[in-house]
A and B are shown apart, each in its own frame.
Chain A
Amino acid sequence: MAAVQDGQLNLEVEKDIKTEITNDGSGNINASSSSPGSTSSGGKSKSPAGSGEDQQTLLAVLQFLKRNKLTESVDILRREAGLSADADDSPVSESAGAGSGGVPSVGADGGDANSLLSRVSIATPVAPPATAPPKVVAASGGEDQPDVNVVLSAYSQQGDPVLYPLYYNGLKKFIESVLDCHRAELSQVFYPLFVHMYLELVYNNHENEAKQFFEKFSGDQECYYEEDLRILSSMSKKEHMKGNETMLDFRTSKFVLRISRDSYQLLKRHLQERQNNQIWNIIQEHLYIDIFDGMPRSKSQIDAMSGSLAGEGKRDANKAKVFYGLLKEPEIEVPLDDEDEEAENEEGKPKKKKPKKDSMGSKSKKQDPNAPQQTRIPLPELKDSDKLDKIMNMKEATKKIRLGPDNLPSICFYSFLNAYQGLTAVDFTDDSSLIAGGFADSTVRVWSVTPKKLRRVKSAADLSNIDKESDDVLERIMDEKTASESKILYGHSGPVYGISFSPDRNYLLSSSEDGTVRLWSLQTFTCLVGYKGHNYPVWDTQFSPYGYYFISGGHDRVARLWATDHYQPLRMFAGHLADITCTRFHPNSNYVATGSADRTIRLWDVLTGNCVRILTGHKGPIHSLAFSPNGKFMASGATDGRVLLWDVGHGLMVGELKGHTDTIYALKFSRDGEILASGSMDNTVKLWDTLKAFDDVELDDFTAATGHIHLPENSQELLLGTYMTKSTPVIHLHFTRRNLLLAAGAYNP
């Protein structure tokens, strides 16, 4: 297992390592002292925030590895991360597994008398670099989780617990008294400040003060933080902080705020006037303030973007170019007449049909400027059967109904009966001929929804008797005796949470609570591979639109990109602060979007492994994602019952669709992208006019640059229809090639 993990330390991690080293060089910091404390200590407020950030990422990775008992990987990572300067006299493995507990406190003096800082390499009492203020190595009390202690130790700096409410109140009064235009922006500070002050109190064993503090001020926080507050409230002892993932999230990642320069100056001046070091320190250490020039944002603008576990995405996080265009379709000879179906592959009446969809724009022969290079990532070659399928697809597409506000789709609902609340995932094939369901009893079931029954390939012995030269060999290999409308696939040992058909309908992927992703053959109806890599439940998986690749994401917060013929992942996308709840491929297969319980959506570049977009705005775990067929837009749905629309190219939120009252589990754009269908736990399917939604957004250069978008309040106008089921939560939606909408869910009597 460890060997496998070693192999996975890929680009993402290596990139961190690189930046790590460069930062170390520029910051003139001893590489071994890459503790968060040293870079963000009180005196060094001007230190490049990026370096601290990357170190923290590294720490998070280290910690993750350690949690999974991957000590070898930890060693290697440490070695490569440039911790080697001191590695000679302090073997890293020792510090990693060290129960030694570090060095007792030597004394306290200096500017911040109370500030105690501890280090990663606890076992090595290396003198801190000269640039850093005097500091003391903390006694971490013989813990077996040194990394956690490091993370926590930033809280060891403390003031008088009694003064905390006063500080907080003072700031509150100040912010309430500032001009309206600044108030909304500065109010953003409250929540992270509240969290960190509370955690500091808890860490320093001021249990009662912490409780009082919480009771006094938790009511002030925005309602969408309620979930996190609940977790916080349950943490009332220092011991609880260890191993609590949410807590680590708060600490290992800085809370990002976007504040205009004016507002920031105001805040800074106030804090300096009041000599309010306590709050200032917290802001310096735990907050990342992204300062921008220009008008302060309004309350609604801020509310639209906030809500995530770690604040908004940084502006520069969304600067990278995303090639959202579609790949050029391969040119395929298409026979003109439907009557000539038999002659499909012959050169009977060759005519090049312009493949569909003017709205997609990129279909002409010349390359879309926004599209990635055709060979940017290697894609599987088209097989003959794929070409046949493409031809079928195009033929169907010509019969497609054009949808619009006056022309709503028909919906066919597939109800799973007698599922006893056990249906956990559903998928349709692209041609809508098969439907698969994942169940809580660990089974995967496949149904044929066409008259064509499901048949298994004959056994090897029988196959050898078949005349391989005959024309209908593909027919002959099927075992007629096994024909049935549905097949059950056994293999998982936990509820199946994600399911996905391959585009060629030969394979089926399923991801489960047992930590595996399984690849099933739909020819033999057996399991081909079990991909092991996630150690925790895998919440979602999806095939690439071109097949071959697939993505999975789960409780371990890492999304993995796999190729069907490799048993190890090709890429690991780490960065989410909580479970990855849903994963989707971009239509051009070059990008992958992941939604998470940290209430952010990230877009990852498959080629480089970089995170190219961080999209914030949801107030609850994201449970569904969908790309528009032209690849330009994305929709996301969350437990908060809202659908958000995103412009992938600019990394901006462009719409908010309100109306659902419960978690949205299904989102799908129509084949032309004109209508978005959303399905929810509240037993409804809603149709939205996305054409209008995307038209209404005016994107000038300023908004594109700053990301301050005014959302039009028009979700009721965009709602085209609501359809209520009797008692069936809608958990999957699919548009057939002719734009008939299929919905699926389990009937709950």
Chain B
Amino acid sequence: MAEERRPKQCTVVLPTESMKAMAESIGVGQLQEESCAALSEEVSYRIKDIAQDALKFMHHGKRCKLTTSDIDHALKLKNVEPLYGFQSQEFIPFRFASGGGRELHFYEEKEVDLSDIINTPLPRVPLDVSLKAHWFSIEGVQPAIPENPPPAPKEQQKTESTEPLKAVKPGQEEEGAIQKGQGATSAEAKGKKDGLMRMKPRSTHELSVEQQLYYKEITEACVGSCEAKRAEALQSIATDPGLYQMLPRFSTFISEGVRVNVVQNNLALLIYLMRMVKALMDNPTLYLEKYLHELIPAVVTCIVSKQLCLRPDVDNHWALRDFAARLMAQSCKTFSTTTNNIQSRITKTFTKSWLDDKTQWTTRYGCIAGLSELGPDVIKTLILPRLTVEGARIKAVSDGPVVSNIDKIGADHVQSLLLKHCASVIAKARPLPDNVEQYRADYGYLGPMLCSHVVKARAQAALQAQQVNRTTLTITQPRPTLTVSQSGIGGSGGSRTPSIIKVPSSLTLMSTRPGTPTQPSPPATKYIVMATSSGSSSTQQVLWTAVLLGGIQKIALFGKRPSPYYGKNNSNKQREITVRHYYKT
């Protein structure tokens, strides 16, 4: 590696163009080529020299990051006046521009309006240095407290779960030098017995007394009546680094809890459980992949279940569905890989039950919510084409004879949900103008309402853009503000994308997206193509994936035939059998 680098070291010098550019900047035109070459060599040498000294200051400052003050001190060593004005701590204030075959890095000096500076409120005073003591190790064992790193980092949890054999093999200790540190017990560190010692904790799944107490407290608080306690417990789940040993318990707790409470239509408890799922997902130290087979069915149940509460006409179970749908989208985003295909399988499940005519309005609502949370691309490909059909269905309920109040409420909710999600997507994708007739032709019954929503959405987006620009950009760059908002409204974006450092993401989206729906989506969002099915046969080799797969298929079943499973208590037994079945696969 070093050898590859070294030859380069010898030759790297600043390009002569830089010399020319600098000379021009101070008013020296017509610098000769030889002078440039000589200058650039000299300058390169001096820069390297200074950089080396600056590194010394970095090392003695006990940092890994070279700062501008290091360079100042290095200059001082050489009796050179330090550079003033480069006090940036976090990023290098250079900007890059290219064009006409030339690439240029430049330091942008903006004109700052002093009145703006005076008028902006002062930033908060940074906190003063303080000293905090904690137990780092007690007689050779590192206590599992928030101040210490989690006993088993995510990476290790991952290797344990994905490659269980590898970790057990003796002779792997060297590679796990870091692991060894994590184990940190003196016994474990003692050489030869290592392999044996390591296997033991894996086979036993007993929690320590403290952990049992903790588990008990937390679960009780999570489903208890005291909201303050619950908030605390959820906070603990979301941040505590030492939970991984309890993760299987939590996972089972949640899935069993959902199972029971769906049957009993206990909406409050279901909400609490979903909040627990959210907290678990928020904890950065947990490796949840192992437990998705329990968590995802539970979440999907909360989205699409036919009935979640005792009084469907009064209770706001829609909120739970929305919340669970967001959770689902989040887990798709975090956990979906090419191997487990979570997102595509979830999408498929939702679509299937949505397409079914017999599906109840509640489930229908859940499916649509689940799909639309997955992102604008999913909405575009899956929901927009069905707007007409869905509109007709809603129309049938609202215009037709009043069959049941519940159906009507369901239809209303589905309608507002569709309007909410589709309007923003259409606003971005559909070119102006927004013609009501056109909309009616395209989207049927929902057309006119959509149209007004789209108009509103556009107006709001433009307003937002302006507001955002005003707050963050006026001081730095007043110019691009205009272009951004114009391109956003006029739909002529894409022609010029101003490179702004601090543009909020919504803005860039607006300015870069021209109004053609065929444009490929940005790489960040997952693009779901329904043609590629979940590919159940190819994923069989990974055990838990198969389990998960089974789970989802069952849920799909629930969607199709909801009544026997989620109807009334009479079918409880059968449902349980089915559930047991897929837990065991």
Contacts and interface: CB of A to CB of B under 8 A. Distances in A.
Interface of A: 211, 214-215, 218-219, 223, 226, 229-231, 233-237, 239-240, 244, 405-425, 435, 437, 439-440, 445, 447, 449, 486, 494-495, 497, 513, 536-537, 539, 555, 579, 581, 597, 621, 623, 639, 659, 662-663, 665, 681, 684-686, 716-717, 719-726, 729, 731, 741, 743, 746
Interface string B99-140: 000000000000000000000000000111111111111111
B184 interface: yes
Contact of A218 (B6, B126, B190): B6
B9 interface: yes
A405 B147 CA distance: 26
A414 B133 contact: yes
Interface in B276-294: none
A221 to B, nearest CB: 9
Contacts of B136: 411-413, 685, 723, 725, 743
A129 to B, nearest CB: 39
B129 A418 contact: yes
Given A406-B186, A721-B137, 13 more contacts: A214-B10, A234-B48, A409-B140, A411-B136, A413-B147, A417-B127, A417-B129, A494-B73, A579-B56, A686-B181, A721-B184, A722-B180, A729-B64
B69 A407 contact: no
B138 A410 contact: yes
Interface string B38-54: 00011011001100100
A233 to B, nearest CB: 4
B389 interface: no
11 contacts: A218-B6, A230-B9, A233-B10, A405-B190, A415-B147, A439-B129, A440-B61, A621-B59, A723-B136, A724-B149, A746-B62
B191 A449 contact: no
B525 to A, nearest CB: 30
A407 B139 contact: yes
Main secondary structure of the interface of A (DSSP, over half): mixed
B72 to A, nearest CB: 10
B62 A437 contact: no
A597 B6 contact: no
B77 interface: yes
Interface string B11-33: 10000000000000000000000
Contacts of A419: 129
Contacts of B135: 410-413
Interface string B325-348: 000000000000000000000000
B63 interface: yes
Contacts of B177: 659
A685 B136 CA distance: 9
B573 interface: no
A680 to B, nearest CB: 11
B249 interface: no
A423 B10 contact: no
Contact of B41 (A215, A236, A413, A440): A236
Contact of B189 (A237, A639, A719, A726): A719
Contacts of B126: 418, 420
A729 B62 CA distance: 8
Interface in B147-190: 147-149, 174, 177-178, 180-182, 184, 186, 189-190
Contacts of B62: 423-425, 665, 681, 729, 731, 746
Nearest to A539: B60
Contacts of A420: 89, 126
Given A555-B77, A597-B56, A665-B62, A237 B137 contact: no
B234 to A, nearest CB: 22
Contacts of A223: 2
A440 B69 contact: yes
B142 interface: yes
A415 B77 contact: no
Contacts of B44: 234
Contacts of A726: 147-149
B10 A215 contact: yes
B34 interface: no
Contacts of B496: none
B6 A233 contact: yes
Contacts of A405: 186, 190
B181 A722 contact: yes
B201 interface: no
B7 interface: yes
B3 interface: yes
Given A215-B7, A405-B190, A513-B73, A411 B60 contact: no
Residue in B62, B131, B184 whose Cβ sees the most chain A Cβ within 10 Å? B62
